[in-house]
Amino acid sequence: MEVKTSLLDNMIGVGDMVLLEPLSEDSFLENLRKRFDHSEIYTYIGSVVISMNPYRSLPIFTPDKVEEYRNRNFYELSPHIYALADEAYRSLRDQDKDQCILITGESGAGKTEASKLVMSYVAAVCGKGQEVNKVKEQLLQSNPVLEAFGNAKTVRNDNSSRFGKYMDIEFDFKGDPLGGVISNYLLEKSRVVKQPRGERNFHVFYQLLSGASDDTLRKLKLDRDFSKYNYLSLDSAAVNGLDDAANFRTVRNAMQIVGFMEDEVQSVLELVAAVLKLGNIEFKPESRCNGTDESRIKDKNDLKEMCELLGIEQSVLERAFSYRTVEAKMEKVSTTLNVAQAYYARDALAKNLYSRLFSWLVTRINESIKAQAKTRHKVMGVLDIYGFEIFEDNSFEQFIINYCNEKLQQIFIELTLREEQEEYVREGIEWTNIEYFNNAVICDLIENNQNGILAMLDEECLRPGTVTDETFLDKLNTICAEHQHFESRLSKNSKFLTDHSLPHNCFRIQHYAGKVLYRAEGFVDKNNDLLYRDLSQAMYKANHSLIKQLFPEGNPAKVNLKRPPTAGFQFKASVGTLMRNLQTKNPNYIRCIKPNDKKASHIFTESLVRHQLRYLGLMENVRVRRAGYAFRQAYEPCLERYKMLCKRTWPHWRGPAREGVEVLMSDLQVPGEEFSYGRSKIFIRNPRTLFFLEERRRQCLQDLATLIQKIYRGWKCRSHFLLLKESQIVVAAWYRRYAQQKKYQKIKSATTVVQSYTRGWQARKLLRELKYQKRCEEAATTIAAYWHGTQVRREYRKFFRANAGKKIYDFTIQRIMQKYFLGLKSTLPSMSPIDKNWPSRPYLFLDGVHKELRRIFHLWRCKKYRSQFTEEKKAVYEEKLEASEIFKDKKALYPSSVSQPFKGDYLEISKNPKYQKLNSAVEEKVLLADVVNKINRANGKGTARIFLLTKKSVVLADQKTGQVKASVPLPDLTSVSVSTQSDGFFALRLKEGSASAVKGDFLLSSEHLIEIITKLHHIGSTTADREQLNVDISDEFLVQFKQDKVCVKFIQGVPKNGNSVSCKRKNNRLLEVSVPTTA
């Protein structure tokens, strides 16, 4: 039976802050500290998970832990992020409810790691299969890509996410992942051009320079030395525990898994290299004749290399850095840029280039991981976004981030209260209004379309005339001065006139997490986020395909004179979309807390944690949760846990669980106002009541444990006594048996000795009698034998000499034959058919047998040798045998051809592309292909021709062009004439009157004469409907050339051209062939 543990068992501190008693900020902190010191990094606030960053590896994320929390009730086990992930996944799968998991906290609190744990848990518990595993792998591998381009080392975190990320993971009806969609928010693009001291630029720059191959860096025109690039900070270039080279390989592999093509990866790396090159471009001042200042590029080498990477004309980009064109209605005005403006333009281009590249990466990843099916999907969203930020110097970025957190806090309160109210209604318990701080007034102060801070900032940016941060602050002082959550030194509220902690160029907002002082400097510029149109158009002119996608506004054909939307407006719209999306889903919250600023384990800084506790609104969360009933539990597990507190319910309750709980609470005399009965749960108002039940249960368990121990010890002692008693009986029985056995053995041994002596005496007596009797019988037998021998010899002497000679002869012959066969067995020759050795004959009378055995042995080994042949080898030997029958002792060329194998296709006509056309012209299989010389009767000279032989015809073709010159069907061939000499001449004699005989016979010369004529003869002999081809071997024969017959005569002599055969025309009727004399 499986033993289930509870959230309340073996609890270190309080696992659920809702049960904390008394509730105060100090007790909250002390409970977190106690759990953190015991490596309990997760704590609940109802269904909210608080996660403390341990800054070390803990053995609580193993596959065994995944299985432990799989399909378990949320409060069934100790607090863990897996419990929340499992609850969200099961609600999505079983109840068809879309889920969202909101992860918040400051940089270094472990938000990114928490999102990875949630995704890895969901991937582990959902279905399996090739397609499902591919989708899971793509979803998980999107993280390394986004971390490389969107994360950086900060003073608080070595892998800090510098953007907000929301991922919707889509599932089918079975709960298997189909794909996902990623949304990104507010990338910190200012980090591209400037990093605070002790921090780094985005990881990808360092990974590229450390991990790329030398060949890749050469193509990108980069050097490994970080110090050569102005945009890379040097004081924190190397980070302990961070291997940039290995991470670069991981990112390349992840991009491949997600679905990036190789050319896309190369384009992305080129843009990263271009950003580094852009930072090295520097400007110098130059005065014009009209007295105005302008800027010029100091060293154009980096500009040149950047232009080569992006395919931009150098002059176009150089002009865009020096001039700015302003377009109004139908007029264009071009002004020069001074050095400060040029640097501003350079940095603006770098920031826009990188941020647009990052947005393109997110879009490209979405294309790869999006669900393919068009049916409705179940969705689980994971939000990993900045927590509330309060720094010494807070600017526009902190203002935007805190505005987002205000919206998240607002939706958290609304959804938490709605969830509480729905549960109360579902359980039939009366709902009472809960008093809480509603931060809608702060959200309205920031986002109101008429007089909100963002609206006034946009209005100030769009206003003609001189616009500065001071004019923006004046406008705030005018419009927001009476707002209770807005404070300024120059506002109409006179109570701040003497507040010297509030500088003149700052304003303060009372957020739900506390007061935050914002410096107005930079608000207007950062909200404008301007990129000069000249730079956009220069980028659009690039030959780089990706650049054109990133700067569509640079298209001259689509010039838009409208001012682009401000950064604040875009972020407000994105936050609105996100909030609408979250409101359609069931929320799950993970609040991440950083225990210290040293990134060290086992250190708990109380002031830092207190600060985070306040701005995350955790105390507010607990108060909202405890405003109604602090604890609720289903009747079955409640009765199972506390049934031992009542005699009527212990050990087994036979009725419904609710009735058992009612009996239990009545017996314990718990006040009625402390709890309420719902339809399926009991609701406990005060944690004291729950702790009272737990204390009674603990005491009862101790009593039960004592009772169990008492009964067990009694049972154990009785069992031991009975075992000893049983053992004593067994030992006594075995001893008595052993004693009787020993006594019996002694008696038996004595009896055996007496018996042995008696039997020995009797045996010796009998032996003496038998020996005497045997001697008597032997004496009588010996006397009889001698007497019978004498009688037999006397009778046998008469016949011995007549028959002894023949028997001795037969015996001798038999021994000689036996010796002969045994000697032959040991001296047999080898199994080779051409081995002519045979043992010599030992005796003359064995001559006939000796020869017959030699013949039989030779036939037998020939048969064994033939049985080893393949069909192809048999065919070759059959042709060789046929050649022997035709030419042996008739043709002087034959002996030299015996050792040469018949290859057949000497031209490899089917493989050689030169003869492809000729091969296609011949329909049958080619049996022989060779180059022959066709002899001209006019001069006796030869012309090279390709000779092809098939089962039906002989084809002659031109050697150079492959064109068929003649095709002779084999039935038209009557005979072949050759000489007896060592030449290669042969004449194909054609049937008179046939179509092939129009031009007469063919006189040809070939080095493979024997093979050609053998194959011709073999085809004729194996074809049933064709006459066998005659082979005429003579030194003089007639050849029909058209209408004339010419005599071909072969003579032996010394040809003029050395050792080769020569043919010469003597007259119109005679061709003389000179053959070298063979030695």
Q: Tell me whether residue 387 is one of the annotated catalytic residues.
A: yes
Q: How far apart are the first and last CA of the chain?
A: 106
Q: Tell me whether residue 290 is one of the annotated catalytic residues.
A: no
Helices and strands of the chain, counted as H and E runs: 31, 31
Per the CB < 8 A criterion, the answer to whether 201 and 191 are in contact is yes
From 13, 105, 108, 179, active-site residue? 108
d(CA 724, CA 728): 6
User: Tokens at residue 775, please?
Assistant: 């001697």
From 161, 394, 689, 1006, active-site residue? 161
Q: Tell me whether residue 107 is one of the annotated catalytic residues.
A: yes
Q: Which residues contact 1 (CB under 8 A, 6 or more apart)?
A: none
Please give the C-alpha separations between residue 401 and each of 106, 162, 714, 775, 906, in angstroms, as whole numbers: 11, 11, 69, 133, 84
From 115, 154, 160, 1062, active-site residue? 160
d(CA 31, CA 24): 11
User: Tokens at residue 645, please?
Assistant: 């507190």
From 104, 143, 151, 157, active-site residue? 157
Q: Which of 641, 650, 718, 798 is nearest to 7 (CA)?
A: 641
From 31, 51, 112, 352, active-site residue? 112
Per the CB < 8 A criterion, the answer to whether 675 and 665 are in contact is yes
Phi, psi of 309 (to 5 degrees): -65, -40
d(CA 36, CA 883): 100
Q: Which residues contact 43 (CB under 8 A, 6 or more apart)?
A: 13, 14, 15, 16, 17, 31, 32, 35, 49, 50, 52, 79
- Let me know the angle formed at the C-alpha of 562 by 559 and 565, rounded to the nearest 5 degrees: 120
**SS3 of 192-256:** HCCCCCCCCCEHHHHHHHHHCCHHHHHHHCCCCCHHHCCCCCCCCCCCCCCCHHHHHHHHHHHHH
Q: Tell me whether residue 143 is one of the annotated catalytic residues.
A: no
From 107, 159, 352, 979, active-site residue? 107
Kindly state the helix (H) or strand (E) to which residue 130 belongs, with its residue range: helix 130-150
d(CA 178, CA 373): 8
Size of the chain in residues: 1079
Residue-by-residue DSSP string for 258-304: HT--HHHHHHHHHHHHHHHHHHT--EEEEE-TTS-EEEEES--HHHH
d(CA 365, CA 623): 41
From 381, 387, 617, 1000, active-site residue? 387
From 199, 389, 420, 487, active-site residue? 389
Q: Tell me whether residue 655 is one of the annotated catalytic residues.
A: no
d(CA 1001, CA 861): 47
Q: Is 234 left (phi over 0), alpha (psi -120 to 50) or beta?
A: alpha
d(CA 51, CA 104): 10
Q: Tell me whether residue 161 is one of the annotated catalytic residues.
A: yes
User: Tokens at residue 207, please?
Assistant: 């990974």
d(CA 779, CA 781): 5
Q: Among all residues, which ones are annotated catalytic?
A: 107-108, 112, 157, 160-161, 387, 389
